[in-house]
Amino acid sequence: MSLFNRVIQDPASFCLDVETLGECQIESPARLRQFVTNGSRAVMAYEVELLKTAMSKLNGALPSFEMAGPHSKIYHDPAWSRAAILTAGGLCPGLNHVIKGLVEILAFDYGIRLIYGIRYGYSGLIPRFAHAPIMLNPDEVDTIHEIGGTILGSSRGEQDTREMVDTLTRMNINLLFCIGGDGTLRAARDVADECRKRRLAVSVVGIPKTIDNDLNFVGRSFGFETAVAETSPILSSAHTEAKGTNHGIGLVKLMGRDSGFIAAYATVANPIVNYCLIPEMDFEMDGPSGLLAALDGRFNSGKNHAVIVVAEGAGQRLISGAAELRDASGNLLKKDIGEFLKLAIDAHFKRTGRDVSIKYFDPSYSIRSVPAKGTDAIRCYLLARNAVHAAMAGRTNCVISNISGNAYTLVPTQLVCTERQQVDLDSDLWKAVLDATGQLHSFNPNINVRQAL
């Protein structure tokens, strides 16, 4: 990246010739000025910041990543290797494609025959749940990439690490592949640590799953592209419903607990959205710069409809009255911003006497349960290949990352669980959202403060 993105040495090669044509430097338009990034800023700034934070948490060591890929010398003897695969956490497009990839590379490339499918996440490693594992082979997984979900089943919730390592030992498993999000990867880290403590030669390799695309050092996560593509017809439906009545409002809640990537991408991919609300931004409902005033303004200006996209983690400050809730995996459950908005908007217009009709869409389960498509499906297969190569070469306590373009690297599991990736409100992406929506800043009371910084 540093190679390609250096500021150009000889701008004359593709700038209008200042000498011959004369100087012509004009101020950017006002709207644009607040987003200007200066053509020569370092693209890596954000990532460098991230690295520094990560380093400080890793006792000052600079993380640098081994390239993924097959090795000429391997650690585990294929002849006696036994692999196990598990999926944990919520569904995500591509889980079965990853499973298929793991099984095929283990079998075709390394000739490994004993591949266990652990049922229902980590609970499948706890004897008392009595979820017998299933045997996997290339025939079994031949067409599973065509269906969504996971053939292994999944679960949430922590299990006892020592009990799980006991099971791995009893089953003689030396290759464990864990497909899941940060809860899953923290557990994988604990299992790897416990194995090391017991001096067990077990490679524990993670394939990071986050439909929200919010894990650090992972690059683009599998399932995300498919999820974004699936939102488009839903947004079109919301648009159609909104336009179908006078003062119709289509309100769509999308996934994104901590990061608004899906909401932001969905908005630019199908730019019929008028307001896009994500966790990274602050916003008010009331007051002259609030969302309700923005809606009033829109309708007063003669527009007859509005489409609102809201990430599930947005506006949590607004609904902070009730007590905190956590799901079985310990994830903080967001209170439902979708329902809150629906009621608040409805109440507002009842109060102001405008006859609006709100249609509410909550399509998350439909979006996450489809199979991965196209280039997203390829990512699944390549992640799986490299996970097997890494495990066979004796790597452990790491995940496979598609950190840049077609390059895959190994990243210490700990690093991936450390912090979340979020939408940068100064990025090209967010500016594209603002242009695509024509979204007013005015419902964000702090906008001027932030812009001034």
Q: So which residues are the catalytic ones? A: 212
Residues 318-377 that bind a copy of itself (CB under 8 A): 359-363, 365-366, 369-370, 373-375, 377
d(CA 49, CA 135): 45
Residues 142-161 that bind a copy of itself (CB under 8 A): 143, 145-150, 153-155
Helix (H) / strand (E) element for 404: namely: strand 398-404
- Binding of residue 209 to a copy of itself (CB under 8 A): no
Residue 291 contacts residue 297 (beta carbons within 8 Å): no
- Binding of residue 304 to a copy of itself (CB under 8 A): yes
- Nearest distance, CB of residue 287 and a copy of itself, angstroms: 26
Residues 39-68 that bind a copy of itself (CB under 8 A): 39-44, 47, 51, 61-62, 64-68
- Nearest distance, CB of residue 444 and a copy of itself, angstroms: 19
Q: Specify the stretch interacting with a copy of itself by CB under 8 A; choose among 118-126, 176-184, 280-288, 308-316.
A: 118-126
Closer CB to a copy of itself, 137 or 282, in the complex: 137
Strands of 275-353, DSSP E: 275-277, 305-311, 325-326, 332-333
The type of residue at 260 is G
Sign of CA dihedral 25, 31, 34, 36: negative
Residue with tokens 């370092």: 42
Task: Identify the residue among 55, 171, 268, 319 touching a copy of itself (CB under 8 A).
Answer: 268
Residues 1-40 that bind a copy of itself (CB under 8 A): 1-11, 13-18, 20-21, 24-29, 31-33, 35-40
d(CA 12, CA 361): 52
* 414: nearest Cα among 196, 262, 227: 196
CA of residue 61 relative to chain centroid, distance: 26
| Eight-class DSSP state of 253 | E
Binding mask 158-187 for a copy of itself (x = CB under 8 A): ------------------------------
Sign of CA dihedral 53, 57, 61, 66: negative
- Binding of residue 117 to a copy of itself (CB under 8 A): no
- Nearest distance, CB of residue 73 and a copy of itself, angstroms: 4
Q: CA angle at residue 423 from 419 to 428, to 5 degrees?
A: 140
Question: In the structure encoding, which two tokens stand for residue 450, read together?
Answer: 């932030």
Task: Identify the residue among 126, 269, 285, 344 touching a copy of itself (CB under 8 A).
Answer: 269
Closer CB to a copy of itself, 22 or 321, in the complex: 22
